[in-house]
């Protein structure tokens, strides 16, 4: 849990962590994804937006190793990788926080954070070390959790989201995928989670944010990738785009053809393709 490692690297050009090229996925006769590209750099929040059925969840599941892709390549730090199952993906350094969080309600915060990779000391759980590290992790994230020994069931929605995000950081990942982290949260809690996302960026992580909420996306993302009907339909820098333009891309009012997208990409990210 080093805050400094990411920052040091960010002094020069941001590292190209993840690069997807020509990803395709079929479910029987349904083409969920066709020729989708996606890039994630260190210290960057990439939002993936799109209407229902645009392929956002499928893309997340491919990255999380839940579904293997049937076409295209996944490059992780320039090396081609196969994400056959969730463990592959996690070992590689891609942490996913699913929408349902998958927390164990009856266990306390510490147990949830370390579930599946508990620290041991002479074969016995090292509760002291885990509790101490939990506190320091939550403090780094400026997370407000009343006590790390309360069962997760007694936490609020935002706090549960915080715990789920903190848990994804335990394995020191390079990329964190957040699936609809602000859905079903109140205004204050949403703000808290958005702050948390910014802190992930400060740590030098690549963050992929899936969201329906354009306001949240525009507030926190650096780049927005629009999917429409399983294809790329635009890749925007947040600084030079309006929500109208994004909505147009989502609904298909503007069609970002391949040529246009390629032109846009070479303009906004010089050197994006050099790693591969």
Partner 1 sequence: MSPTTHGDPSVPAAKVIHDDELRYGFRSSVRSFANRVRTGDVGSLPVVAGLILIWTIFQILNPNFLSSRNLVNLTLQSAAVGTIAIGIVLVLLIGEIDLSVGSVSGLSAAILAVLFVQTGWPIALVLVVALVTGAMVGLVYGLLYTRFGVPSFVITLAGLLGFLGLQLFVLGRLGSINIPDNTWIVEFLTQTFLSPAVSYVVIAIVVVVYAWQLLAQARRRTDAGLAAMSRNVIAMRVGGVAVVLGAAAFYLNLSRGVSMSFLIFLILVTIMHFVLTRTRWGRAVYAVGGSVEAARRAGIRVNRIYISVFVLCSTFAAMGGILAAARLQAANQSSGGGDVNLNAIAAAVIGGTSLFGGRGSAFSALLGVLVVMSISNGLAILNLEAYVRYMITGAVLILAVILDSLSRRSRAAAGRA
> What are the respective helix, strand and coil percentages of the chain, to the nearest 5?
40, 25, 35
- Cβ proximity to partner 1: between 104 and 251 the closer is 104
**At closest approach, how far in Å is the CB of 130 from partner 1?**
10
Strand partners, 210: 48, 179
Q: How many residues bind partner 1 (CB under 8 A)?
A: 34
Rule CB under 8 A: say whether 89 interacts with partner 1.
no
**At closest approach, how far in Å is the CB of 161 from partner 1?**
15
Rule CB under 8 A: say whether 148 interacts with partner 1.
yes
**At closest approach, how far in Å is the CB of 142 from partner 1?**
11
Rule CB under 8 A: say whether 137 interacts with partner 1.
no
How many beta carbons lie within 10 A of that of residue 130, not counting itself?
21
**At closest approach, how far in Å is the CB of 105 from partner 1?**
4
125-133, 190-198, 221-229, 232-240 -> range binding partner 1 (CB under 8 A): 125-133
Rule CB under 8 A: say whether 243 interacts with partner 1.
no
**At closest approach, how far in Å is the CB of 215 from partner 1?**
29
- Cβ proximity to partner 1: between 150 and 195 the closer is 150
**At closest approach, how far in Å is the CB of 90 from partner 1?**
7
Q: Which of 7, 82, 139, 144 binds partner 1 (CB under 8 A)?
A: 139
3-class SS at 180? coil
Rule CB under 8 A: say whether 131 interacts with partner 1.
yes
Q: Which of 116, 187, 239, 259 binds partner 1 (CB under 8 A)?
A: 116
- The string over 40-49, giving b where at least 16 C-beta atoms fall within 10 Å of a residue's C-beta and e elsewhere, is bbbbbbbbbb
- For the chain, list the strands marked E by DSSP: 16-27, 30-41, 44-49, 71-76, 79-80, 94-97, 120-121, 124-125, 175-179, 206-210, 223-228, 231-237
**At closest approach, how far in Å is the CB of 169 from partner 1?**
14
- Cβ proximity to partner 1: between 24 and 86 the closer is 86
229 close to 198: Cβ distance less than 8 angstroms: no
Name which of 42, 3, 2, 1 is nearest 19 in CA terms. 42
Q: Return the H-helix or E-strand segment holding 245.
A: helix 243-251
**Rounded to whole angstroms, how far apart are CA atoms 103 and 114?**
11
DSSP state, residue 151: B
Name which of 82, 103, 90, 50 is nearest 248 in CA terms. 50
Rule CB under 8 A: say whether 153 interacts with partner 1.
yes
**At closest approach, how far in Å is the CB of 252 from partner 1?**
34
The tokens for 79 are 């090396």
20-28, 144-152, 177-185, 216-224 -> range binding partner 1 (CB under 8 A): 144-152
Q: Rule CB under 8 A: which residues touch partner 1?
A: 86-87, 90, 98, 102-107, 111, 115-118, 120, 123-125, 128-129, 131-132, 135-136, 139, 146-151, 153-154
């Amino acid at each position: 849990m080093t805050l400094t490692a990411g920052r040091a690297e960010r002094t020069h050009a941001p590292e190209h962590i993840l690069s997807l090229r020509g990803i395709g996925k079929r479910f029987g006769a349904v083409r969920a994804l066709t020729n989708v590209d996606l890039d994630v750099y260190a210290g960057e929040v990439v939002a993936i937006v799109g209407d229902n059925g645009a392929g956002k969840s499928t893309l997340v599941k491919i990255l999380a190793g839940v579904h293997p892709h049937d076409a295209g390549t996944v490059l992780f730090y320039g090396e081609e990788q196969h994400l056959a199952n969730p463990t592959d993906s996690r070992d590689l350094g891609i942490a996913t926080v699913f929408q349902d969080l998958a927390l164990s309600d009856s266990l306390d915060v510490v147990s949830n954070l370390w579930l599946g990779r508990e620290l041991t000391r002479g074969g016995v759980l090292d509760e002291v070390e885990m509790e101490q590290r939990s506190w320091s992790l939550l403090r780094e994230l400026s997370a407000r959790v009343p006590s790390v020994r309360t069962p997760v069931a007694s936490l609020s929605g935002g706090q549960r989201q915080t715990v789920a995000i903190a848990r994804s950081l335990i394995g020191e990942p390079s990329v964190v995928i957040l699936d609809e982290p602000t859905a079903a949260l109140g205004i204050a809690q949403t703000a808290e989670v958005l702050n948390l996302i910014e802190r992930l960026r400060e740590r030098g992580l690549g963050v992929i944010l899936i969201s329906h909420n354009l306001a949240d996306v525009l507030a926190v993302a650096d780049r927005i990738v629009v999917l429409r009907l399983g294809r790329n339909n635009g890749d925007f820098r947040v600084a030079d785009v309006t929500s109208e333009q994004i909505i147009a891309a989502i609904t298909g009012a503007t069609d970002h053809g391949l040529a246009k997208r390629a032109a846009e990409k070479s303009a906004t990210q010089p050197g994006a393709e050099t790693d591969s």
